[in-house]
Copies of this chain bind each other. A is one copy, B any other.
Amino acid sequence: MSAPRVVREAAALVIGDELLSGKIRDENIYELARLLRSLGVVLRRVVMVGDDLETISDELRALSARYDLVFTSGGVGPTHDDITVDAVARAFDVAAAVHPELEALLRAAYGARYHAGFERMALAPVGAELFRTEEVPWPTIIMQNVWVLPGVPEVFRMKLRQVASRVEGARQFVTRAVLTRMDEGDLKPLLDEVVARFPEVQVGSYPRWRSEEYKTKITFDAATEAALEEAVAAFLQLLPEGEPQGVV
């Protein structure tokens, strides 16, 4: 991992032909994005690719060099299309080999039913760490700055608890949202003024389609409560009578 910086940046690589062909809907990007945000880590990029060894390993090499943390999702089961561990090994120019600890765990879990068909699940890149917590004892492979997470959403979410126990970001946000019935076009001059006056506050604008409750949600993210309060107060002053519909 790179030397400490003010902001830790992350990327995710989501792997699976089934996602690109629309057979399955990804559920993991959103969960990861929410967790990282709550940890103060900035997710900068998500890439989704199919089950191709070279594509995955090329992408991993690039993401691992550029970001502090990389999370993969998918491709870690025992079948022919589960090639993420091989790709991680290849990205770091090491072999993938049966890890005695993983093999022992699989044997314990499957008992007499364990056979060579499960062997892919015992593989790890040589030099990888197996990370476990008391709460989530099944280990996760971490190869340098790459966390290898499973694609099945329920298991992915469980593994995120391991991420939360170890990853700490530098950027803590406070956040607020203002709900209005105004069009984005009408809001634009107001937003421009707030963006110009408070360059350190991130302002986002999100129209909602066919909602009775509100039309556009304006979000404010700041490093401190004081900066947040000031920007939100300035924006509320600019709103016409009858607005906002709420501040949440």
- Chain A interface (Cβ within 8 Å of chain B)? 14, 17-26, 29-37, 42-50, 77-81, 110, 113-118, 120-121, 152-155, 183-189, 191-192, 195, 202-207, 209-210, 219, 221
Q: In the complex the two chains form, is B20's CB within 8 Å of A33's CB?
A: yes
Tell me the minimal C-beta distance from A4 to chain B in angstroms.
Answer: 22
Q: Which of B14, B29, B152, B206 is close to A207, meaning CB atoms less than 8 Å apart? A: B152
Counting from the closest, the 9 A-B pairs by CB-CB distance are A22-B33, A22-B34, A118-B185, A117-B188, A46-B48, A25-B30, A117-B185, A79-B205, A154-B209
Residues of chain B within 8 A (CB-CB) of A22 are 30-37, 43
- The residue on B at minimum CB distance from A121 is B185
Tell me the minimal C-beta distance from A172 to chain B in angstroms.
Answer: 13
Given contacts A20-B45, A80-B188, 12 further A-B contacts (CB under 8 A): A20-B43, A20-B44, A20-B46, A44-B50, A47-B48, A77-B184, A77-B207, A78-B188, A80-B195, A81-B204, A118-B188, A154-B210
Residues of chain B within 8 A (CB-CB) of A21 are 33, 37, 42-43, 221
- The residue on B at minimum CB distance from A189 is B117
Q: In the complex the two chains form, is B80's CB within 8 Å of A191's CB?
A: yes
Q: Which of B19, B116, B185, B191 is close to A110, meaning CB atoms less than 8 Å apart? A: B185
Q: In the complex the two chains form, is A17's CB within 8 Å of B49's CB?
A: no
- The residue on B at minimum CB distance from A46 is B48
Tell me the minimal C-beta distance from A75 to chain B in angstroms.
Answer: 11
Q: In the complex the two chains form, is B219's CB within 8 Å of A23's CB?
A: yes
Q: Which of B50, B120, B184, B219 is close to A78, meaning CB atoms less than 8 Å apart? A: B184
Residues of chain B within 8 A (CB-CB) of A47 are 45-48
- The residue on B at minimum CB distance from A186 is B117
Q: In the complex the two chains form, is B79's CB within 8 Å of A184's CB?
A: yes
Which of A36, A77, A116 gathers the greatest number of chain B CB atoms within 10 Å?
A77
Residues of chain B within 8 A (CB-CB) of A120 are 188
- The residue on B at minimum CB distance from A154 is B209
Q: Complex: how many Å from CA A186 to CA B113? A: 8
Q: Complex: how many Å from CA A47 to CA B117? A: 34
Residues of chain B within 8 A (CB-CB) of A32 are 22
Residues of chain B within 8 A (CB-CB) of A45 are 20, 47-49
Residues of chain B within 8 A (CB-CB) of A206 are 18, 23-24
Tell me the minimal C-beta distance from A214 to chain B in angstroms.
Answer: 14
